[in-house]
Amino acid sequence: MPERFSSIDKVVGSVSDDEKDQMSAIIEDRFRDHSSEKFLSSELLKYEVEKTPEQLDMIRSVNELTNNFLESMSYPTMDIPPDNVHIISSEGWSNPETDGKFSPLIQGVAIKDNEIKTIIFDKLIHEFLHMKSYGAIQADQEGFMAEYRMGLAAFDRNGEKLYLNNLSEGFIETLAKQLLSNCNDVALSEERDQFVAVKQKFSYATDENGKPALDDDDIMYASAYRHPDGSFDLSIIEYPYQAERYAFQILTAKIFQVNEGKISQEEIFAAFADGVFTGNLLTLGKMIENSFGKGTFRKIAEAGEDIEKLLEIIGNLK
């Protein structure tokens, strides 16, 4: 499959084809000739930390991991250069809702620094999958560029409402979790051994509901701190985007259920993957409409960024 040299596949808007080509070239130049000095604010630049040799190896590993997946699905690949990845110290990270961010307009990924390598890996995989998704920007006649499509997610033409973003995040993190679980990178081996040891030592630990605290597939990493008096505190880190992943999982399960095996799990996954990585929503839209009735896909999309509304809509599907 061909290799991509930016995350933007299309420019839309009321400008000429020549102007669209020029804007595509600007975005590609930002991908190829990326630097912190050009694209980070002066405030954020103060908090960028130099990538360690181990983190550079992680970037190479995540590029390979995500490209192998893309090749397996016959999608174009992309090698994201290390210069396009910015590690920001915890002191300088200002977004409390997420520890990672991809910006299509600057063609860069920012990750909150963390001493736990498993978390860094998960964030890199998640944001690299976003960057390697289908992308489109919209432009006006004054040359202003704005985000339009990233994977399943799409803004309206006014740039005011964002559709399908929660499902997009749910799919991306579900895939990131799967890729991370199957990753055998040496950087993860020590933490995985420690995690296994903690699970064995504290197998008796329970949560507030009396269930085993460490017997959960949703746990990314756990560690134990021993106090001077001999007691322990458990630190449990779960995979992020729980509500979004739950929405994605329930929707795919219901599609499979109502079709009584006529559509395989692989076909359902491929319909979502095509929407994310090629921008083609036709197969996914038809699948949902045929499963639950005309207008269902639009109803799901119009939940916008309201995750509770999305969960309610999906919960009521029959």
* Residue 1 token pair: 């499959």
- pLDDT at site 303: 96
Q: Please tell me the distance from the alpha carbon of residue 29 to that of residue 54, in angstroms, as a whole number.
A: 27
Terminal C-alpha separation, the chain? 39
* Residue 305 token pair: 């960024």
CA distances from residue 123 to 85, 241, 300, 305, 316 in whole angstroms, order as listed:
11, 12, 27, 21, 32
Whether 304 and 168 map to the same domain: the answer is yes
- pLDDT at site 1: 66
Q: Please tell me the distance from the alpha carbon of residue 140 to that of residue 246, in angstroms, as a whole number.
A: 37
Whether 101 and 14 map to the same domain: the answer is yes
Whether 190 and 175 map to the same domain: the answer is no
Whether 94 and 18 map to the same domain: the answer is yes
Which amino acid does the sequence have at 64?
A: E
C-beta neighbour count of 286 within 10 angstroms: 12
Whether 41 and 168 map to the same domain: the answer is no
Whether 71 and 144 map to the same domain: the answer is yes
276 strand-pairing partners: none
Q: Please tell me the distance from the alpha carbon of residue 231 to that of residue 213, in angstroms, as a whole number.
A: 17
Phi, psi of 222 (to 5 degrees): -145, 145
Q: Is residue 40 part of a domain?
A: yes
Structural domain boundaries, residue 206: 186-238
Whether 250 and 213 map to the same domain: the answer is no
- pLDDT at site 81: 97
Whether 192 and 176 map to the same domain: the answer is no
- pLDDT at site 252: 98
Whether 259 and 232 map to the same domain: the answer is no
| pTM score | 0.96
Whether 208 and 253 map to the same domain: the answer is no
- pLDDT at site 148: 96
- pLDDT at site 160: 87
Indicate the Cα dihedral angle 290, 295, 298, 303, nearest 10°. Answer: -110
- DSSP letter for each residue of 183-250: ---HHHHHHHHHHHHHHHHTTT-B-TTSSBSS--TTEEEEEEEE-TTS-EEEEEEE-S-HHHHHHHHH
Whether 178 and 305 map to the same domain: the answer is yes
- pLDDT at site 301: 96
Q: Is residue 267 part of a domain?
A: yes
* Residue 300 token pair: 């799901």
Per-residue pLDDT tens, the chain, 318 aa: give them. 678 999 999 999 989 999 999 999 999 999 999 999 888 888 889 999 999 999 999 999 999 999 999 999 999 999 999 999 999 999 999 999 999 999 999 999 999 999 999 999 999 999 999 999 999 999 987 878 999 999 999 999 888 899 999 999 999 999 999 999 999 898 899 999 999 999 999 988 888 888 888 888 899 999 998 888 877 889 999 999 999 999 999 999 999 999 988 999 999 999 999 999 999 999 999 999 999 999 999 999 999 999 999 999 999 998
- pLDDT at site 40: 87
Q: Please tell me the distance from the alpha carbon of residue 292 to that of residue 118, in angstroms, as a whole number.
A: 38
Residues 6+ apart with CB under 8 A from 188: 117, 118, 121
Phi, psi of 111 (to 5 degrees): -130, 135
- pLDDT at site 274: 98
